[in-house]
């Protein structure tokens, strides 16, 4: 590209992108490529510009995964005004929500991110005061970012244009009217970029204080695995709905034919990622599951409370060994405020909590029984009477308020249920006032009948389902002695080792020839690693011992293991923004999102009034809703772009 074109391109970038405003200006007031890359300091600023386009994962208005689907639901009065409501009810083409194509309505303009990455890669050689090793590392970081921005767009929209190089500023109109490329080609290019980058990156972050969130080898290996699992999944592999999805050249944009080799490719990528990340396999990424042994609990704390708190720490222990990629750029106060449970018990008050991020009844029922089985498959659990009211027994004193009344659904559930889900008359562990160390003083009561502290007290700031998300509230949150709320910030998990283990188990299982094929012990082994950490027995022992007769052989086939693995993902990764994307790639949203969203009757003031299963909403989800729409004005500006099917 000519120098003149570089200058103009950079001026355009600097004026159109707030994230490029760091650029200094030369004496004649013209920002130049040569100036931006004149030394290490200036080039590093541009490197951080490339990072600045990463999504704001912790914000419910920017991360579709936190809001979409039916894992959580907001109170209807709040819902009607939100982007969350508009997208779940139906997106639009005039001004789409979560628009990452054009950068609007909660989305960043990721095509600008790709242009910034290209500028960096094209001009890094201009920097003279960095050594070869650092130059290679920076180039690898930006190659990964370039791959990831392509992927973020592809995951939302399917086929996208590939921005391999920036067009010259004097490109013709015809050159600028680019096409969307077939999804398989997009994935191949993304994987090519990651492969070029992954072994040029440091295997792990050596200094979390200065380099937290910077791309390393473990991130690259893990994301490659996740991308290939998604590409092998039913939404993009063998989806007949896209048979006629072609552009004006007649090019097929998503291949409707099923290709089993995609799963084999995903399995190999998962295997390499696990071997690279897992310290127990001498992986240089040095990752390991966070367990109860990693949690430094007070000596007087009971095992049950230690177990619940350790499960909370999987998410909230800063830069713990399980976290592969975390985002600490953004304050999590907004998310915590959205989900925080209102408590007002003498010395402790969670002022400003609004509890709007409410788990649905379906999500609550997903969790296993105490024996580690789905609630309808455990022969020892009273499934048919699960909504009946009962008195909380002494045996549950670590989880709920003894002597109070609750639904049977809340008793005899697995540890992750009590660690992740708040319910009426349940307990909620927080640190209390600074300096308090008593285990008992930190267990707070959730009272959520209408008019009670955590219940409905107006048209906003309450859980519309009657349930609460405890997973993203660190147990180290507290109030100061003066009464001020003290949040405990932690990096948002983009991918962690537990996620990778389950991806590996899924890929191994899907490589089997048919649904009746005998399950693979290695797939079971990696699911069992997650179950063991959660305080549950292994799959074989559990189903052999506690399952109803018709389910005892479930784990023995590919089809049965598919159900087990999928449910394990929905439980283990609940509320982390993964459920929507998983159900989407499995092509199950047309099932889940066409059934009523249910919770309890939050208008109730007694147990008899409250514990009535109530339909909150009846969503409608069609095949078109799997891919996000492209804004109509964008299509008018480029006739070579075609809209996604159904829009």
Q: Which of 183, 185, 204, 187 is nearest to 195 (CA)?
A: 187
pLDDT for 323? 96
User: pLDDT averaged over the chain?
Assistant: 90
- 181 vs 306: which has the higher pLDDT: 181
Q: What confidence category does residue 634 fall into, taking pLDDT thresholds of 50, 70 and 90?
A: very high
pLDDT at 176: 92
Confidence at residue 535, expressed as pLDDT on a 0 to 100 scale: 98
Are the C-beta atoms of 490 and 475 separated by less than 8 Å? no
Q: What are phi and psi of 443, to 5 degrees?
A: -90, 115
Cα(406)–Cα(422) distance, integer angstroms? 12
Instruction: For residue 461, list its beta bridge partners.
Output: none
pLDDT tens per residue, range 344-368: 655 455 555 667 789 999 999 999 9
Distance CA 622, CA 626 (A): 8
Could you report the per-residue pLDDT of 199-220, keeping only the tens digit for each? 999 999 888 778 888 999 999 9
- Tell me the two tokens of residue 349: 């008050």
Lowest mean pLDDT segment, chosen from 340-344, 433-437, 478-482, 557-561: 433-437
- Which runs of consecutive H residues, i.e. helices, occur in 396-515? 415-420, 497-510
pLDDT-derived band at 632, boundaries 50, 70, 90: very high
Stretch 119-126: mean pLDDT: 97
pLDDT at 471: 92
Taking only the tens place, the pLDDT of each residue in 223-259 is 999 999 999 999 999 999 999 999 999 999 999 999 9
Q: Which of 474, 450, 384 is nearest to 610 (CA)?
A: 450
Residue 13 has pLDDT above 50, yes or no: no
pLDDT tens digits along 280-310: 999 999 999 999 999 988 777 889 989 999 9
Would the pTM of this model clear 0.85, i.e. be above it? yes
pLDDT above 60: residue 434: no
The fraction of the chain above a pLDDT of 90, given in percent, is 74
* 56-104 per-position pLDDT tens digit: 998 888 899 988 989 999 876 555 555 555 666 679 999 999 999 999 9
Who has greater pLDDT, 527 or 342? 527
CB atoms within 10 A of CB 89: 13
- Asked if 528 and 538 touch (Cβ cutoff 8 Å), the reply is yes
In this structure, the dihedral spanned by the alpha carbons of residues 602, 605, 606 and 612, taken in order and rounded to 10 degrees, is -20
Residue 222 confidence (pLDDT):
99
Going by C-beta distance under 8 Å and a sequence separation of 6 or more, which residues neighbour residue 328? 212, 213, 489, 490, 491, 492
Question: Widest CA span of the chain, in angstroms?
Answer: 81
With bands split at pLDDT 50, 70 and 90, how would you rate the model's confidence at 476? confident
């Amino acid at each position: 590209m000519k120098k003149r074109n570089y200058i103009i391109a950079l001026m355009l970038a600097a004026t159109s992108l707030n994230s490029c405003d760091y650029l200094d200006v030369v004496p004649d007031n013209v920002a130049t490529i040569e100036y931006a890359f004149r030394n290490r300091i200036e080039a590093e600023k541009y490197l951080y510009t490339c990072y600045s386009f990463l999504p704001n994962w912790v914000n419910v208005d920017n991360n579709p995964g936190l809001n979409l689907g039916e894992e959580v639901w907001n109170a209807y009065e709040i819902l009607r005004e939100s982007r969350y409501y508009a997208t779940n009810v139906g997106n639009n083409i005039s001004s789409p929500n979560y628009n990452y194509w054009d950068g609007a309505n909660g989305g960043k303009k990721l095509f600008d991110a790709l242009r910034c990455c290209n500028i960096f890669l094209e001009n890094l050689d201009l920097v003279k005061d960095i050594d070869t090793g650092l130059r290679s590392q920076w180039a690898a970081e930006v190659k990964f970012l370039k791959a990831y921005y392509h992927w973020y767009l592809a995951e939302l929209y399917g086929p996208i244009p590939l921005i391999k190089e920036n067009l010259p500023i004097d490109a013709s109109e015809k050159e600028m009217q680019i096409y969307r490329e077939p999804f398989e080609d997009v994935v191949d290019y993304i994987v090519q970029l990651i492969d070029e980058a992954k072994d040029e990156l440091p295997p792990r972050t050596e200094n979390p204080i200065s380099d937290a969130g910077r791309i390393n080898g473990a991130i690259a290996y893990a994301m490659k695995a996740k991308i290939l699992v998604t590409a092998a999944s039913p939404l993009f592999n063998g989806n007949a709905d896209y048979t006629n999805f072609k552009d004006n050249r007649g090019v097929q944009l998503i291949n409707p034919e099923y290709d089993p080799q995609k799963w084999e490719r995903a399995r190999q990528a998962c295997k390499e990622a696990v071997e690279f990340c897992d310290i127990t396999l001498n992986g240089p990424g040095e990752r390991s599951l966070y367990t109860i042994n990693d949690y430094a609990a007070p000596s007087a704390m009971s095992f049950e409370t230690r177990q619940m708190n350790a499960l909370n720490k999987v998410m909230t222990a800063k830069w713990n060994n399980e976290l592969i990629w975390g985002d600490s750029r953004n304050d999590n106060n907004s998310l915590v405020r959205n989900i925080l449970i209102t408590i007002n018990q003498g010395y402790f008050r969670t002022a400003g909590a609004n509890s709007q991020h409410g788990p649905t009844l379906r999500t609550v029922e997903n969790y296993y029984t105490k024996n580690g089985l789905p609630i309808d498959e455990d022969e020892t659990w009273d499934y048919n009477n699960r909504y009946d009211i009962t008195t909380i027994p002494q045996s549950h004193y670590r989880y709920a308020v003894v002597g109070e009344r609750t639904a049977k659904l809340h008793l005899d559930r697995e540890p992750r249920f009590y660690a992740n889900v708040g319910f009426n008359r349940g307990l909620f562990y927080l640190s209390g006032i600074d300096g308090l160390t008593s285990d008992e003083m930190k267990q707070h009561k959730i009272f959520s009948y209408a008019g009670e502290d955590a219940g409905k007290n107006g048209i906003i700031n309450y859980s519309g389902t009657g349930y609460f998300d405890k997973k993203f509230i660190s147990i180290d949150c507290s109030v100061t002695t003066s009464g001020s709320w003290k949040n405990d910030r932690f990096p948002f998990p983009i991918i962690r080792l537990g996620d990778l283990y389950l991806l590996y188990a899924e890929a191994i299982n899907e490589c089997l020839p048919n649904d009746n094929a005998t399950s693979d012990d290695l797939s079971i082994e990696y699911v069992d690693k997650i179950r063991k950490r959660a305080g549950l027995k292994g799959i074989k022992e559990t189903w052999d011992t506690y399952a109803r007769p018709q389910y005892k052989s479930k784990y023995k086939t590919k089809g049965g293991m598919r159900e087990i693995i999928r449910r394990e993902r929905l439980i283990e990764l609940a509320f982390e923004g993964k459920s929507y994307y998983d159900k989407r790639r499995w092509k199950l949203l047309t099932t889940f999102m066409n059934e009523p969203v249910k919770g309890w009757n939050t208008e109730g003031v007694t147990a008899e009034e409250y514990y009535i299963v109530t339909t909150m909403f009846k969503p409608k989800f069609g095949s078109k809703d799997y891919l996000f729409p492209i804004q109509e004005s964008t299509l008018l500006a480029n006739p070579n772009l075609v809209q996604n099917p159904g829009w």
